[in-house]
Chain A
């Protein structure tokens, strides 16, 4: 199986560096994500290792790292499937509890891949609470680790701040 050929059929943007074991497939349009995931699954990538976001100033990149348990040739490969979505502008809103204007950072939306890879369910819940990525179609999208104090805090975004932080850093 020629992996490069197979992957370039799925998407135009394919990065392969075998020496560093770096394999990345980027999908531009979020609506084509599920199709790409199904194609990858039919190639033999059968489980999700990690789902994470990367926060850039203007966009959020969502990355699924997938690998294979069933196909012998693919067991050594760890492939990244990435999609980038534009971040909506943060806006100021009146918060009746704090009696002040607070900065609201609206979440972004991407389709969920739990229907293709059930192994990503907990990972997607974590990415949701940490980055504010709403996975549309996830059967059970709730907060996983953070207590209710962190409602819409999205702590792993770069603009997250908390009170203790002033003591020591930045």
Chain B
């Protein structure tokens, strides 16, 4: 690779494109642009797991309006990159959530909303509930029972900070 550095027009087109991508990915301004694009396009999948969904809906409504942060609930998991676990998940629901998460393209993030998603909350010790970290890699936890919509907005801002810091991780993710 050492002697062909800089000679990106050698070889066939496929290889050239790959090399061009590698070259560009190392540049800081490209990384900045990608992370800027991603953190204002956090589209959560429209999957309600529990009662915090009521506050999730309020967060998407006019007063709190998380769409100004690029937070737009979307129907199909293939077009989304964020999953919000809203409150308690039962065993029956956890299988669905995991399946939806597996269908989402990388890079993807998880927000665990509410005390129940953190540690069981008020439904701790029940025979049918399970906490989010047991089946998903959680990025941001939001405390509260239920958290106010402002708290969810704060979580989105925190997630944006996190994406900006980890901009190297955005590139070259293969699934």
Contact = CB atoms under 8 A, between A and B. Distances in A.
Interface in B116-153: 124-128
A162 B91 CA distance: 14
A53 B128 CA distance: 20
Contacts of A146: 92, 128
B127 A167 contact: no
Nearest to B128: A146
Contacts of B124: 168
Given A147-B91, A147-B92, A155 B127 contact: yes
For the residues of A in contact with B, the DSSP-based class is loop
Nearest to A167: B125
A168 B125 CA distance: 7
Interface in B76-134: 91-92, 124-128
B125 A169 contact: yes
Contacts of B92: 146-147
Nearest to B124: A168
B92 to A, nearest CB: 4
A90 B125 CA distance: 26
Interface residues of A, number: 12
A149 B125 contact: no
Contacts of A100: none
A169 B120 CA distance: 15
A105 B126 CA distance: 21
B124 to A, nearest CB: 7
A164 B128 CA distance: 10
A162 B129 CA distance: 12
A125 to B, nearest CB: 16
A167 B92 CA distance: 22
Interface in A127-155: 146-147, 149-150, 155
Nearest to B129: A164
Nearest to B127: A162
Contacts of A150: 127-128
Contacts of B127: 150, 155, 160, 162, 164-165
Contacts of A168: 124-125
B15 to A, nearest CB: 50
Contacts of B91: 147, 149
A64 B125 CA distance: 30
Nearest to B93: A147
A155 B91 CA distance: 15
Contacts of A164: 125-127
Given A160-B127, A168-B125, 9 more contacts: A146-B92, A147-B91, A149-B91, A150-B127, A150-B128, A155-B127, A164-B125, A165-B127, A169-B125
Interface of A: 146-147, 149-150, 155, 160, 162, 164-165, 167-169
15 contacts: A146-B92, A146-B128, A147-B91, A147-B92, A149-B91, A155-B127, A155-B128, A162-B127, A164-B125, A164-B127, A165-B125, A165-B127, A167-B125, A168-B124, A169-B125
